[in-house]
Structure 1
Amino acid sequence: MKKTLAGFIAVMVLFLGFVGTSTVEADTKGDVDVRHDTLSDIGTEFRDEVRAVMDHYKEFNNANKQLKEAGASYQNALTADTGKANTYTTMEQQSVMVGVYTFDATYAALFLRKKELADVLSVRKSLAEKIGFGMPLTPKMKEIVANPDKIADFDEWSKALDEVSMEMVVNHVTTDKRLDMLVDAFFGAVVEGMYVVTESIAQAGYPQPMLDLMNQQHDRIDFMLKLLNVFRGDKAFENEVEFDERFDVLGDIHNLLLVRQFTQREVDGIRQIIAPLRQDILDGTVF
């Protein structure tokens, strides 16, 4: 778990920005620290590769819709406690939790739980402001943030979130540190998404229509693995995005997602990995 044992797509997408702290020359791969307050040459290359990965994964929100269509109901107990938001004090904790709360907002929007959506968006906004990098408000997202109770359907939320995501990567990832924190936020959203899906399946008693949802979860994990792989080979950036730790645990989940027909066994195997990982995130011991 990250540094202090401390850290999942819906997505997704997000997000927010972050204040840089230190400067180091960082054009050479492998043996220097990441330059935080500018976007280095290699950071620019990585940002563009992250955008390319995102372009290939645009169906997360459709996968989320299938959760409802398969018979799941909204379970408030499956979401992160917004009352604990002020206990996350480090930039890393806050950026990962922004990802967690972003998925929770998607979950609330899916079931048109407007009060819960308003609550999560308010907390998420507060965390982003503490980090110093607010969500770029496209016109659609601005309307939703200002009046969550007026959201008409999940597709409206999905479109707004997609626009924010691309705006974020194209115009707001302006430092290496922001690139690192964007990956943190995606990680938080992916973990939360996988947790909500697998726990929903378990609570429903593993019915076949919901077991079939697991076929779409492969893309969530594959997305995050490909995102991490963007930074493979640059030791400074690998350290920033916790490459080894995250790649290992997500790789274990990926292996469990390779079966053709999902049963309770595979879902429970993933739950045994994702539930404690998610709890560590909520406890502030970020991965």
Structure 2
Amino acid sequence: MSVSTELRRLRAGRATTRPTSDRSAYGFLSPWLIGLVVITAGPIVASLVLSFTDYNLLQDPSWIGLDNFRRMLSDDRLRQSLWVTFVYVVLGVPLQLGLALAIAVLLNRGMRGLALYRSVLYLPSLLGGSVAVAILWRQIFGTEGLINQVLGFVGIEGIGWISDPRTALYSIIALHVWTFGAPMVIFLAGLRQIPASYYEAAVVDGAGRWQVFRHITLPLITPIIFFNLVLQIISAFQAFTQAFIVSGGTGGPSDSTLFFTLYLYEKGFGELDMGYAAALAWLLLLIIGVFTAINFYAARFWVFYDD
């Protein structure tokens, strides 16, 4: 058999088997593709369309163009919800990451029962977003809660931390900081990747603990810090359960815990103003996108990679 004949036979075989292989591949991918279209892409497109309509779930949506977005400009409660959310993100995320990094550094020194400590400290991240813990937190910071009982032992008169507009938001921020387990585990994994030779060389040169942390540990884990920062900012902007349970679903007192997501929920499912709620959802997406883009732009100035 000549070489040209063999090549023609191989090409014919590939032409025969390729469609079958393609069909098999799409068959295995079909559950994911269906989920992408039906569960993810479909609702996203539908919400975008609804953001330009007046829709109350009971009647057919009517097209109103940009009225929902113009309405945001004069919405005082929307501005309040944005302020509350920004304060929550700006205070809660750095405090949570700082605590997570500090605990990770302590655990990285090596100790007996490290796996147990790591599991116990990670537990709040699993439970922090649950309804049960939010209810517990409401009881702890209540007028007769644990915090005021402890203060009473030292002669300090407590206040209603949840019922006082000056402190209600900070009690929820404290709950967010308490759920430091997930970023802590990621920090710990990053710290374990730093070669011990770097620390040994620093000790030989006479560097102290703070100098070692400042000039070796911190620069080498900046990619991990950046990763945690982006994830936690996105998560903080979407916080809902804590504010809903602690405030009783009202965002009170005096809208001091009116998170953006809680306001969106009130508009969509409380007032059945689904068109406006969809527009608010896209505003939230835009805000998260802007913050993420800023982080990625700023990362070039403070994140250091091996290459």
Q: What TM-score do you get using the length of structure 2 for normalisation?
A: 0.26
Structure showing greater radius of gyration is 2
Flag the structure with higher helix content.
2
Which structure carries more relative contact order (alpha carbon 8 Å, separation 6+)?
1
Q: What TM-score do you get using the length of structure 1 for normalisation?
A: 0.28
